[in-house]
């Protein structure tokens, strides 16, 4: 990095924490065994895998066998939706997902719709929050699966997943929650009280890319979608990436350690950031401001400017942020999340996401706020609107 | 491997926006836009409005992405002044800026012949998926010239 | 490792080569960007991903867009079979796979069979080689896909994939080859002359676990099986594991550098190993001995002994080998590959796989051969047969 | 989440062979078998055959996995000698060895009461997925005792 980088894009991915790095390095030296191998190198790998599994199980108060490691959040979401849909297809074909899910859920739901399932996309209110009543009203006797994320990646809005999960359980419907953006931000220690399937991703919690997990509550019907050897109890074939999994487990421990304290510290920086912007820049609007949100995320519409132009100016100053979610770089068009909240195309087009993290300082917050004020003024001065 | 099936996802354009095999990928990670584009984006030329212009155009729809306004002052068939304002992405701003720079001082008969390619070439290229933005600057210029001609013919 | 380890299990997994490790380390320090992010950290990640892609493309003489990165071999095999089957389901439902495929192909074929496809399992001869005539005879107008591995993981036997690929292309059938065990052992520089889909795995070629690729020849119909963002041209969603991918690309370069030389050196060690065993131990049989085999693999039946007992004795001496494939540790019962070759259950049960690698020395070969002679004698002396 | 569907892969035994949550995983990677099992595997006790035995049994099928032969010499109802040979996995060899050690010198009425659990306990446990191997040693012992009794009753 040539200049001082300010990283306000922690919802896209995070830097590896030292504990995770430390946990991974042995596997890049001598300990390269395949956990399926009989010999001592294999057993060592197996022991590491088991230790990682127990680490996760401990955090989520579940059985080690309920932790199914995957290559990441997207795969876990696919496994949850495709796997439950396939396992339950004789019981029914109706699936409900919220309109603001991550593409790894939305596109998978669309793929299921194309292959004979019936999918309802549950709407959100103007704060980007799913209305449980609307979901309840949408359930049918043939509803087999409901999937609603715990926290939205673009706005940070927390969803009523406890309520939705309990509603699902009462009706014998499998409930999946994509907790990728919630893990390490809210307490998920009792997640199996309301959810059957829970998606996690390592690289969002200061762990390495290449690992994630689907927590599968015992007894939840689930077909394997990546078939092969008897890995992960037959639910996910493939030689396990024990280095990434060990890093993920180490990062998970850090993610839940002192959670409240971290949330309070980062949350107050986020609030300071928003207060500064509201003070210094006219015509802005904080999305999901009235919703309960995770502590690190600010999604802001700047009237009369186009978000890519802001992003590029920020980038030239070494400031990392994003427009909508990182995954939408390849996808033109305004955010489906903001559109679902009722924002116009033009409003959505001026939206930026700032996601703070462990390394964020008050100084950085002030620097970014000041930079934004200048950039928005400059762009507005040449705007044709 | 041809097919008539509609359900086939056939990624035939797999390497569309990537150089051919054998070409070397850039050694150092590059900015999405080149330096000339960045320069025109951060310091756009000919920004502003012209009071009582000889030609004016408004192109694009802000709801769909970009919008641009362009003013020209014409004397003896020559574009003596040109100004623009733009709501849009960096590509739109930079191509608009470059289009006005190219057109400044030109005879309208020559300016009419300016193409998107001329603008892109003058900028040293823009990313493939941003090429549609380059349409705006030249499109606005041509529209402003048409507007000038209509006004002139009415005056006659 | 407490004692001197002799690793004769390179077909299960390999140690990371220094070049791969070197390529990965930067990502565990500052360069943690998400390739989908707009800012400079994202671009840096994108550039690395692109460099890896070009590296692979160069080796296989294909377009960079024809390289689709996955989390490993199993996922790539699933993508090939499930993806092609879904894309071509209106054209036909018949699929041919060989009986000796890796479980990631076999179990996937079985899953497809359970969901309405018609699967033919092509037999092999007593040398473990698929007979192209039998495959040709099995094709039908509705055959959409043929999948035959390039080299078998248990016996090392090379399969007539050129012939099968050309036969498929003449008939407009998609041809997939699992080249996981062939890459780095035989030249695959012109693989697209006969194959449409090619599976690769990083951890078998001295790269890290967590990366693999499916090479997808332009124009090959393929549906996405892990849906999400627009990663990998929409064929594979999920934030890319750029560290593992960079390691994979670096390892791939090493895998093809000086291939003939390495093959000759390791091949002569393998031949020495087999000669020693034949000399010192009676009642043994080298499987696929008369087939063309990759240079590093020996699969040997020891009459009258049970393979796990041999493995454990070897392990107590620090010698790593395997019975059948590593993946079968969790799966009891004799190898499906050896059974398909016509070996009896009892013969198959006495089979061991020794897979040599770059680090193998003549001394190690002699040590293992001598150890085996002693172990087999000891076990036979207490055998009830 | 109950279901009658046959196509549901319902991994209800997900944590079957793993300790309950909260239990600590082993710090150091352990051998698949414990040291006692390894000892009985590498140095099996009572290996061999007995000429003119009082009881003999052949159990298991080598084609399905393991096979074991067991000989006993009985005097006054006491097992004075016992020998075995085994074709099988380490678990089969070790449990056979331990079964013969336990039975050696026992009265056949007591030996008849020996169970698989006794053998497994004496070995300090064997891996869950290897427990079926422990059936062989005790099974062969019981069969040899039955054989002894048949021969004795014939002699009467
Ligand atoms: C021939 C073959 N195909 C596929 C695989 C699966 O690869 P991975 O373990 O990377 O999923 C293996 C190795 O396990 C293999 O040997
Ligand atoms: C809410 C949410 N779900 C799923 C994902 C996908 O995770 P991954 O990138 O690990 O595939 C992301 C991040 O991209 C996310 O923010």
Residue A258: CB atoms within 10 Å: 11
Instruction: Quote the ligand 1 centre to C201 CA distance (angstroms).
Output: 7
Residue B105's domain is classified under what CATH number?
3.90.1010.10
Closest CA to A151 of A143, A163, A140, A160: A160
Percent residues over pLDDT 90 in chain D: 60
In whole angstroms, what is the distance from residue A327 CA to residue C201 CA?
A: 26
Residue span of the structural domain in which C287 resides = 6-14+258-383
Q: Is residue D127 part of a domain?
A: yes
**pTM for this entry:** 0.92
Res D14 pLDDT > 50 = no
Query: Is B62 part of a structural domain of the chain?
Result: yes
Q: When comparing pLDDT for A90 and D3, which is higher?
A: A90
Give the closest ligand to the alpha carbon of residue A156.
Answer: 2
**D71 CA distance to ligand 2 centroid (A)?**
64
CB contact under 8 A, A316 and B65: no
The answer to whether residue D21 is domain-embedded is no
| Residue of B142, B53, B139, B93 lying closest to A381 (CA atoms) | B93
The verdict on a CB contact (< 8 Å) between D10 and A64 is: no
Structural domain contains residue B73: yes
Residues C299, C312: Cα–Cα separation, whole Å: 17
Residue B81 located in a structural domain: yes
Q: Which residues of chain B have pLDDT under 50?
A: 1-30
Q: In this structure, what token pair is assigned to residue D67?
A: 């096979």
Same domain assignment for residues C233 and C285 = no
* D139: nearest Cα among D108, D106, D109, D116: D116
User: Residue C156 above 50 pLDDT?
Assistant: yes
Give the number of domains in chain A. Answer: 2
Residue C1 resides in a domain: no
For residues A89-101, one letter each, b for 16 or more C-beta atoms within 10 angstroms of the residue's C-beta and e for the rest, the string is: bebbbbbbbbbbb
| CB of A238 closer than 6 angstroms to any ligand 1 atom | yes
Q: What phi, psi does B85 have (nearest 5°)?
A: -135, 150
- Nearest by CB to C43, which of B15, B23, B29? B29
Ligand 1 closest atom vs CA C203: 10
- pLDDT surpasses 90 at C119: yes
Cβ atoms within 10 Å, residue A286: 15
Cβ proximity of D59 and D68 under 8 Å: yes
CA of A211 to the centre of ligand 1 (A): 18
Contacts of A225 in chain C (CB under 8 A): 78, 225
Model pLDDT, residue A325: 54
* DSSP helix/strand/coil, D56: strand
- pLDDT for B15: 32
- Assign C206 to helix, strand or coil: coil
Among A102, A212, A247, the mutation site with the greatest number of ligand 2 atoms within 8 A of its Cβ is A102
Confidence of residue D136 (pLDDT cuts 50, 70, 90): confident
Same domain? For A89 and A187 the reply is yes
Do the Cβ atoms of A64 and D21 come within 8 Å? yes
Structural domain for B127, as ranges: 35-155
Asked, for residue C200, whether it belongs to a domain, the answer is yes
Helix pair angle (C103-114, C73-87), 10° resolution: 30
Predicted local distance difference test score (pLDDT) of residue A329: 53
Task: Give the C-alpha separation, C155 to C80, whole Å.
Answer: 23
Q: Does A228 touch chain C (CB under 8 A)?
A: yes
Segment C50-63 mean pLDDT: 97
Which contacts of B111-116 are long-range, i.e. CB under 8 A and separated by 24 or more positions? Answer: B111/B79, B111/B141, B111/B145, B112/B142, B112/B145, B114/B138, B114/B141
d(CA A187, CA A252): 12
For position A354, which CATH number holds?
Answer: 3.90.1150.10
Strands C94-98 and C118-122: parallel
Same domain, A189 and A267: no
**Where among C214, C238, C256 does a domain terminate?**
C256
Q: What is the pLDDT of residue C329?
A: 52
Are residues A346 and A272 located together in one domain of the fold?
yes
Query: Is the CB–ligand 2 distance for residue A179 below 6 Å?
Result: no
Q: Which two tokens stand for residue D27?
A: 């710090």
Q: For residues A133 and A122, is the Cβ–Cβ distance under 8 A?
A: no
Q: Is the pLDDT of residue D4 over 60?
A: no
Is the per-residue pLDDT at C3 higher than 90?
Answer: no
Contacts of B139 (CB under 8 A, 6+ apart): B59
Dump the DSSP string for B3-36. ---TT----TTTTTTSPPTTSPPPSSPPPSS-HH
What CA–CA distance (Å, rounded) separates A182 from C378? 58
C92 and C241 belong to one structural domain: yes
Of the candidates C231, C256, C281, which is a domain's last residue?
A: C256
Distance between CA atoms of residues C241 and A203, nearest Å: 9
Distance CA C232, CA A256 (A): 33
If you write DSSP's letter for every residue of B84-116 in order, what string do you get?
A: EEEES-HHHHHHHHHHHHHHTT-BHHHHTT--H
Distance A236 CA to ligand 1 centre (A): 13
Tokens of D118: 């006794």
- Whether the pLDDT of residue C1 is over 70: the answer is no
Query: Contact, D17 vs A233, CB < 8 A?
Result: no
In angstroms, rounded to a whole number, what is the distance separating the alpha carbons of residues A44 and D27? 10
pLDDT higher than threshold 50 for residue D10: no
**DSSP character string of A261-275:** HHHHHHHHHHHHHHH
Q: Are residues A113 and A205 in the same domain?
A: yes
Domain count, chain B: 1
Q: In this structure, is residue B72 part of a structural domain? A: yes
Contacts of residue D66, defined as CB under 8 A and 6 or more positions apart, other chains included, come to: C306, D60, D86, D87, D88, D89, D92, D133, D136
D59 touches chain C (CB under 8 A): no
Question: Which ligand has the nearest atom to the CA of A213?
Answer: 2
Is the pair B, D in contact (3+ CB pairs within 8 Å)? no
User: Ligand 2 centre from A180 Cα, in Å?
Assistant: 6
> Is 60 exceeded by the pLDDT of residue D15?
no
Together in a domain, A154 and A180: yes
Residue A283 shares a structural domain with residue A249: no
CA distance A127 to A240: 40
Q: What is the largest CA-CA distance in chain D?
A: 63
Q: Is residue A1 part of a domain?
A: no
Q: Do B18 and C44 touch (CB under 8 A)?
A: no
Counting ligands in written order, the one closest to the CA of C79 is 1
ipTM of the complex: 0.90
Q: How far apart are CA B132 and CA A385, in angstroms?
A: 20
The residues of B annotated with a catalytic role in the active site are 64, 133
Residues C262 and C120 in one domain: no
Burial class (CB in 10 A: 0-12, 13-18, 19+), C329: buried
Q: Give the separation between CA C188 and CA C200, rounded to whole angstroms.
A: 11
Q: Report residue A145 as tokens.
A: 């699966």
A186 and A123, same domain (yes or no): yes
d(CA C232, CA C222): 13
Q: How many residues does chain D have?
A: 156
Is residue D132 domain-resident?
yes
Cα of A206 to nearest chain D Cα, Å: 24
Q: For residue C144, give the CATH number of its domain.
A: 3.40.640.10
Domain end position, chosen among A205, A235, A256: A256
More confident residue, D126 or C167: C167
Least confident span in A247-251, C21-25, C117-121, C303-307: C303-307
**Top mutation candidate among C71, C106, C204 for ligand 1, by most atoms within 8 Å of CB:** C204
Quick one: which H or E segment has residue C232? Answer: none
- Pairing state of beta strands B67-75 and C351-355? unpaired
The answer to whether A362 and A368 have CB atoms below 8 angstroms apart is no
**B42 contacts in chain A (CB < 8 Å):** 313, 316
pLDDT tens for chain A, residues 1 to 385: 345 899 999 999 999 999 999 999 999 988 899 998 999 999 999 999 999 999 999 999 999 999 999 999 999 999 999 999 999 999 999 999 999 999 999 999 999 999 999 999 999 999 999 999 999 999 999 999 999 999 999 999 999 999 999 999 999 999 999 999 999 999 999 999 999 999 999 999 999 999 999 999 999 999 999 999 889 988 999 999 999 999 999 999 999 999 999 999 999 999 999 999 999 999 999 999 999 999 999 999 999 899 999 999 999 999 999 996 544 455 567 899 999 999 998 888 889 999 999 999 999 999 999 999 999 999 999 998 8
Same domain, A192 and A310: no
| Closest of C14, C77, C367, C372 to residue C207, by C-alpha | C14
**CB distance C57–B8 less than 8 Å?**
no
Retrieve residue C142's tokens. Answer: 């509705």
pLDDT at residue B156 in the model: 64
First-last CA distance in chain B: 63
CA atoms of C354 and A100, how far apart (whole Å): 52
The SS3 assignment for C147 reads: strand
Element (H, E) at A59: helix A40-59
Which of C46, C61, C63 is nearest residue B15 as measured by Cβ atoms? C63
Note whether A235 and A263 are same-domain residues. no
Locus of tokens 């054209």? C91
């Amino acid at each position: 990095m040539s200049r001082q980088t300010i990283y306000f894009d922690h919802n896209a991915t995070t830097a590896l924490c030292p504990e995770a790095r430390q946990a991974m390095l042995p596997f890049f030296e001598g300990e390269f065994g395949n956990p399926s191998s009989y010999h001592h190198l294999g057993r060592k790998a197996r022991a590491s895998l088991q230790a990682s599994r127990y680490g996760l199980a401990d955090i989520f108060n579940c059985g080690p066998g309920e932790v199914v490691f995957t290559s990441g959040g997207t795969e876990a979401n696919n496994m949850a939706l495709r796997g439950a849909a396939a396992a339950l297809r004789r019981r029914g074909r109706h699936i409900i997902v919220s309109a603001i899910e991550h593409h790894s859920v939305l596109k998978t739901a669309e793929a299921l719709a194309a292959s004979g399932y019936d999918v309802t996309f549950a709407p959100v209110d103007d704060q980007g929050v799913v209305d449980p009543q609307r979901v309840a009203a949408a359930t049918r006797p043939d509803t087999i699966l409901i999937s609603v994320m715990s926290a939205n990646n673009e706005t940070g809005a927390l969803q009523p997943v406890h309520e939705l999960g309990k509603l699902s359980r009462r009706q014998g419907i499998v409930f999946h929650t994509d907790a990728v953006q919630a893990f390490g931000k809210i307490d998920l220690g009792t997640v199996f009280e309301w959810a059957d399937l829970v998606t996690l991703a390592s690289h969002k919690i200061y762990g390495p890319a290449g690992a994630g997990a689907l927590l599968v509550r015992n007894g939840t019907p689930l077909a394997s979608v990546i078939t092969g050897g008897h890995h992960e109890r037959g639910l996910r074939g493939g030689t396990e990436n024990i280095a990434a999994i060990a890093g993920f487990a180490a990062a998970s421990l850090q993610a839940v350690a002192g959670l409240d304290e971290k949330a309070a510290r980062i949350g107050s920086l986020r609030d300071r950031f928003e207060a500064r912007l509201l003070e210094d820049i006219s015509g802005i609007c904080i999305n999901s401001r009235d919703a309960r949100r995770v502590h690190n995320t600010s999604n802001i519409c700047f009237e009369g400017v186009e978000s890519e132009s802001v992003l590029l100016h920020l980038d030239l100053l070494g400031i990392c942020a994003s427009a909508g979610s990182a995954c939408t770089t390849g996808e033109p068009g305004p955010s489906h999340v903001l559109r679902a909240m009722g924002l116009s195309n033009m409003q959505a087009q001026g939206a930026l996401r700032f996601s703070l993290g462990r390394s964020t300082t008050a100084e950085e917050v002030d620097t970014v706020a000041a930079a934004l004020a200048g950039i928005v003024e400059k762009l507005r001065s040449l705007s044709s609107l | 491997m041809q097919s008539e099936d509609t359900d086939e996802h056939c990624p035939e354009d797999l390497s569309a926006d990537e150089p051919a095999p054998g070409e070397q990928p850039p050694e150092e990670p590059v900015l999405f836009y080149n330096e000339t584009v960045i320069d025109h984006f951060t310091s756009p030329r000919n920004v502003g409005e012209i009071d009582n212009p000889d030609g004016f155009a408004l192109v694009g729809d802000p709801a769909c992405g970009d919008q641009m306004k362009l003013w020209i002052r014409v004397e003896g068939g020559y574009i003596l002044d040109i100004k623009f304002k733009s709501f849009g992405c960096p590509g739109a701003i930079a191509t608009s800026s470059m289009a006005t720079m190219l057109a400044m001082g030109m005879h309208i008969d020559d300016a009419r012949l300016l193409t998107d390619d001329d603008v892109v070439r003058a900028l040293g290229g823009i990313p493939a998926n941003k090429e549609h933005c380059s349409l705006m600057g030249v499109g606005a210029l041509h529209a402003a010239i048409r507007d000038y001609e209509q006004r002139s013919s009415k005056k006659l």
